[in-house]
Every structure is written in C-alpha cells, then in structure tokens.
Amino acid sequence: MTSKPSKKELKKAKAEAEKQKTQMLNTKRRVLEDSRAVANLMDLIPFLQNFNHELFNAQIKSFNKVPEEYELWMFNMITQNMEKFYEKAWGWDAEVKEAELYHEDSRFLIAFYRDHPIGFVHFRYELDTGELSLFIYDIHVTEELRRQGLGKFLLQAVEFIGLKLGYDSVIVSCFKDCTVGRQFFNKYNYKLHKQSPAIADPENEFEYHHELLFKPLKKQ
C-alpha cells in the first residue's frame, strides 16, 4: 500500500501547480501583447494573400484599423446584414457598433477585387479564463459574390493566423436566428463553446439570443 501524501507534500504540490498556472498565464499574456504589435498579419500567411476563383480573383490585405476610405462601406454592410438580428435580440445601436468596430484592438482582413473592397473579417485577440482566442466580431462578403468560397477563405486566414501566433481557438458569437451564419460556421467544424448559454446556463438557455461557437487550434 502507498501512504497518503503528507500535508506538507500536498501544500508543496499545490504551490507548484499554482506556479505553473501563473507561468502559463504570463506566457499567454506575452503572446497577446506580441500579437497586437504585428504590423502586417499577411506576412504570417503569405500563401493566403490571393484568392483565386474561376469567376474572380481577390487580394487579401491586413489592417490594424479600418482605413477611413472604407469605413462607410464596412459599416453599411454590417447594418444591411445584421441590424434586423440586433433589433430582435437587444436593439440596434449604431454608436455601440461603431465603437466596437473602431476599437483600438480590432484587426481586419479585407478582400479586394480590382482595388475595390468586396469582403472582410473583423476580429480581436482575447485572453479569457486562460484561453487565448481570436474572437470574430464580423465576417461579410458583398452579396453578389457570396457562395463562391471567399467567406471560407477569410475564415481560414484567421485560423492560420491563430495557428502561427500560438492561439488556442477561434471563437464567434452567432445569433440563433441567423441560420445562414450558424450553418456557415457549423460547416467548418465550429462547435458550442463551454461559455455558450446552452452549456453555461442551460436552465435559462432560451432567454439568450446568441450562442458562442468555437474551433480549437490545438489538440484537446
């Protein structure tokens, strides 16, 4: 028979576990800060700079803030696609959405066709409860060019950025009523996150208008 560990041994083991946890958290904080300092994300994924399709080709460019000349285009696309879902859930507030879009931590990949923007993905680097994630706030493609693979391409670009930078996952918040959005992410293996209402608060799940979906970038 093995003897039970002494109180001293248990205390030492607990202290060591806490030390390792702190070291891991500090490492992730450094990754977060280093990520925010990257000037051009496409340098990390040069193999995804060009989207080639039989109908059109697009160039993907990275921005650490919304270029002024594209602000109206980007906000109008979000409004056109998403306002109805916000209104039904908790109300549409253009100022709040603008503040979210133009936040200093926001990052963007924009697709261009003949120097005209045709789609984008807006995301941030986040560290929450020890999980390093790229959190997608918006992903949109101009209506006439949808279902040609550009949305998938932009999503994959974000995933590869996360892999290159050492992140744990990509997370997205999706309205339950946005069937197209949910189908899109489910198609590319996004599952319910542990903080999604269905898991975190199952008794009150139906009081929520959204769900959190995620895709791990590391083996679980």
Residue 1's pLDDT is what? 53
Q: In what order do the strands lie in the sheet with 50-52?
A: 50-52, 57-63, 107-113, 116-128, 131-141, 169-175, 210-216, 191-192
Phi, psi of 19 (to 5 degrees): -65, -45
**Domain hosting residue 189, numbered range:** 40-216
Number of domains in the chain: 2
In this predicted structure, what is the pLDDT of residue 12?
64
Tell me: do 5 and 102 sit in the same domain. Answer: no
Asked if 122 and 165 sit in the same domain, the reply is yes
5 and 65 part of one domain:
no
Q: Do 57 and 85 have their domain in common?
A: yes
Q: Per-residue confidence of the chain (220 residues) as pLDDT tens digits?
A: 556 777 776 666 666 666 667 777 889 999 999 999 999 999 999 999 999 998 899 999 999 999 999 999 999 999 999 999 998 888 889 999 999 999 999 999 999 999 999 999 999 999 988 899 999 999 999 998 899 999 999 999 999 999 999 999 999 999 998 899 999 999 999 999 999 988 988 888 888 888 999 999 987 6
Contacts of 192 (CB under 8 A, 6+ apart): 198, 199, 211, 212, 213, 214
Domain shared by 64 and 168, yes or no: yes
Q: In terms of domains, do 5 and 69 share one?
A: no
Q: What is the pLDDT of residue 11?
A: 67
pLDDT at site 118: 96
Check whether residue 29 and residue 118 sit in a common domain.
no
The pTM of this model reads 0.88
Q: Judge if 121 and 140 occupy the same domain.
A: yes
Same domain, 20 and 76: no
| C-beta contacts of 194-200 below 8 A and 24+ residues apart | 195/129
Query: How many angstroms separate the CA atoms of 199 and 214, rounded?
Result: 13
